[in-house]
Structure 1
Amino acid sequence: MTTDWLQHIGDLALGVLVAVLPLMALFVVFQLLVLRLPRKQVRDILVGTTVAGVGLFLFLLGVQIAFLPFGQVIGERLGELSSPCIMAGVGAVLGLTTAWGEPAVRVLADQVEEASHGTIKGWLVLYSVSLGVAAWVAVGMLRIAYGIPLTWLVVPGYALAIAMVMVCDRKFLGIAIDAGGVATGPLANTFLLAVALGAASATGQDALVVGLGFVALIALAPILSVLALGLVIQFTTKSKE
């Protein structure tokens, strides 16, 4: 058992090194040939990159130890319930808390407020993304409960998004697309996907067919919710005028 864990930790550390070292090497090459940054700044960048690599290793280790098994157990218990409404309700809570705690979502919200000089509040972006993910995670749990084909949700969802793009303010388009990317961050890809796979297995369905595809719904959710936020602000502004 101990030997297996040491082997797993070694493989994980090697994977992180393979991911981080090329970036550090590229920075060193640019520093020597182009950048010529001061020594203090170079030291800070290298130390920060090292800290980020250690953090990535610890995060991935924590995912393997806790996040994936925890999410799968929750999904299996939800799948054993006879009430799809409870599955959807719990899924909505999990989606809300996961999106709320996603670091990339908060970074996006802060950058939107900074880039817009405060005209678009960061908390509005954070709330809209979190509520959108919550709603679509609930829909995803209902899909697992009733065996709804994924295309029945994805195709109309993106058709609606395209229709909203046609009438929404252009400045919200970029925010919405980026929100779809940041919402599917490490928390969603590790925890919520594990919940979906566990629920699909517990309901006796093929996890490859029913469980996977959950992240696609999560990616669609903030696009629709942020575009909807843009339409609301747009309509409110016109009404005041």
Structure 2
Amino acid sequence: MPSFNLKINQPCGEDFNKFTPTEKGGFCQSCQKEVIDFTNMSESEIIEYIQASTKKTCGRFKSSQLKHYHIPVQSSRFGKFRSCLTFAVISFLSILNTEAKTNEISKKPKVELQEEKKISTNLETTTEKYTITGRVMESSGEGAIGVNVVLKGTIQGTATDFDGNFSLTLDKPKGILVFSGIGYQTQEIEYDSNQLTNLTVYIDADIKGLLTVGEVNTSLLYSSKKSIWQRIKDFF
């Protein structure tokens, strides 16, 4: 999948708030250029603008927006057919693998199978899981993307999706969740087994170093290395 890294090599020291307002941002009198304000753009809008731009762009970004972007690939009718064919091949291979495992299990002595079933049953009855779901919001009311959600004192965690939603399964009925990310202040929230779903967490922006203004650099445009399944798809 095509992708690129968005960064600013040399941040500008000018104050964006003092620029003359324009339709897309502000005009810098120092460098005589329009500085595009990307801070309120979605990820898809940023990708669309960068792809359509034919000249050097100066922009204002949140620190969280200076990252790696994947460019969506438009699928054709043939591409859809190829995807369906690939899915059929993968499904067929999965069926063969399942049958092989079933045959292997059927060859095991009955005593051994009974012991495995007993151990499995004991584990299921002694280990209870707690799934916590919710959404992390910015002060603007938008979902916070890429915020880390970690159980304090452990490495168990996840990250919010493009809408700020998260889902985390833990084996503790209560504890403290730590919310952190680039451009955000770290937030800690207690949870317990009585409140595990539809949590709403507001995370404040880290004003210090949050906004970056400067010339956009997307020179690291490249295509990521294909996986084995992508190679199978190309074969068809």
TM-score w.r.t. the length of structure 1 is 0.24
Greater strand share, structure number:
2
Greater helix share, structure number:
1
TM-score w.r.t. the length of structure 2 is 0.24
Structure with greater contact order relative to length (CA < 8 Å, sep ≥ 6): 2
Task: Decide which structure has the larger Cα Rg and report it.
Answer: 2
